[in-house]
Amino acid sequence: MRSKLVVGNWKMNKTPTESAALVQAFLRHADAKAGIEVVVCPPYPSLGVVRELLKGSRVFLGAQDVFWEPSGAFTGKVSASMLRESGVEFCLVGHSETRGRFGKLEVPPTTLPFFSETEETVNLKIRSLLFHSIRPILCVGETASERESDATESVIEAQLTGAFRGIEGPELAVASVAYEPVWAIGTGNTCDASEANRVAGFIRNWLQGRFGSDAEPIRVLYGGSVKSTNSEELFHQPEIDGGLVGGASLDPMEFSRIVMSA
């Protein structure tokens, strides 16, 4: 039996001072209950302060991205060993926003090449995280136009195949996969719970086909406009082991309600 996992992705929000206030407020309302793992992923500059505040709680520290090389002339990048020493235990990989696939575009289209994650970079990042004992949370999902052209399964299959290329089953016991339909991210258009369950089941089948019984501990999450009004229904679908929460994780009361609903 897999325990539930609820992850808050703060994206590019909250300075270190604001991060401290958010995490303190969240911990006042809800500490993680036994049987549920909770992770918060603040921006890099807030990792230190959030780590200190999480000490003694059962909430884990996560990061939003990583660069795969151990060190070197890679201006602006952060390695897995740096994250590990900063107390990071989970890390998102291949989020649609790092892939340049936005549910709601808030940057000029000409800047999209800046968001250029590929299947290959996702794979390199997962390998580097596993090597440093950080648990990867791989994000996969289709855009609205891919869904309309019945490509949901083929897009997700290609993302899973690329992400896990050359990685063996037992190593991946610590990983999770988040089904995040791009059209549901930051748009308020949550995926219908039964459809999210169906796609999560597709991901589970793929994992079983690729890794056999080693796939059993890998959790499949749902993400995309999760709120306290829909989280209970989503998280209790048989194929869904928890959620990846963006906007709603910035409100401590709301995020506590979402965690409680798991």
Active site residues: 95, 180
Kindly determine how many residues on this chain lie close enough to bind ligand PGA according to the rule CB under 6 A.
13
Our CB check for ligand PGA shows the closer of 62 and 215 to be 62
The region, left, alpha or beta by phi > 0 then psi within -120 to 50, assigned to residue 75 is beta
Note whether 203 and 210 are within 8 A (CB).
Answer: no
By CB under 6 A, name the one of 9, 79, 143, 230 that touches ligand PGA.
9
30 contact partners, CB below 8 Å, separation of at least 6: 255, 256, 259, 260
Our CB check for ligand PGA shows the closer of 197 and 231 to be 231
By CB under 6 A, name the one of 245, 258, 259, 262 that touches ligand PGA.
245
In whole angstroms, what is the distance from residue 180 CA to residue 6 CA? 14
3-state per-residue secondary structure call for the chain: CCCEEEEEECCCCCCHHHHHHHHHHHHHHCCCCCCEEEEEECCHHHHHHHHHHHCCCCEEEEECCCECCCCCCCCCCCEHHHHHHCCCCEEEECCCCCCCCCCCCCCCHHHHHHCCCCHHHHHHHHHHHHHCCCEEEEEECCCHHHHHCCCHHHHHHHHHHHHCCCCCHHHHHHCEEEECCHHHCCCCCCCCHHHHHHHHHHHHHHHHHHHHHHHCCCEEEEECCCCCCCHHHHHCCCCCCEEEECHHHHCHHHHHHHHHHC
Q: Closest separation between CB of residue 18 and ligand PGA, Å?
A: 17
Q: Closest separation between CB of residue 187 and ligand PGA, Å?
A: 7
By CB under 6 A, name the one of 91, 156, 226, 262 that touches ligand PGA.
226
- Among 28-36, 114-122, 218-226, 233-241, which window interacts with ligand PGA (CB under 6 A)? 218-226
Contact between 224 and ligand PGA per CB under 6 A: yes
Q: Closest separation between CB of residue 39 and ligand PGA, Å?
A: 12
- Among 77-85, 159-167, 222-230, 232-240, which window interacts with ligand PGA (CB under 6 A)? 222-230
By CB under 6 A, name the one of 98, 159, 197, 225 that touches ligand PGA.
225
Our CB check for ligand PGA shows the closer of 164 and 183 to be 183
Site for ligand PGA in 151-190 (CB under 6 A): 180, 185-186
Site for ligand PGA in 73-102 (CB under 6 A): none
Our CB check for ligand PGA shows the closer of 137 and 211 to be 137
Our CB check for ligand PGA shows the closer of 11 and 84 to be 11
Contact between 223 and ligand PGA per CB under 6 A: yes
Residues lying near ligand PGA in the complex (CB under 6 A) are found at 9, 180, 185-186, 223-226, 244-248
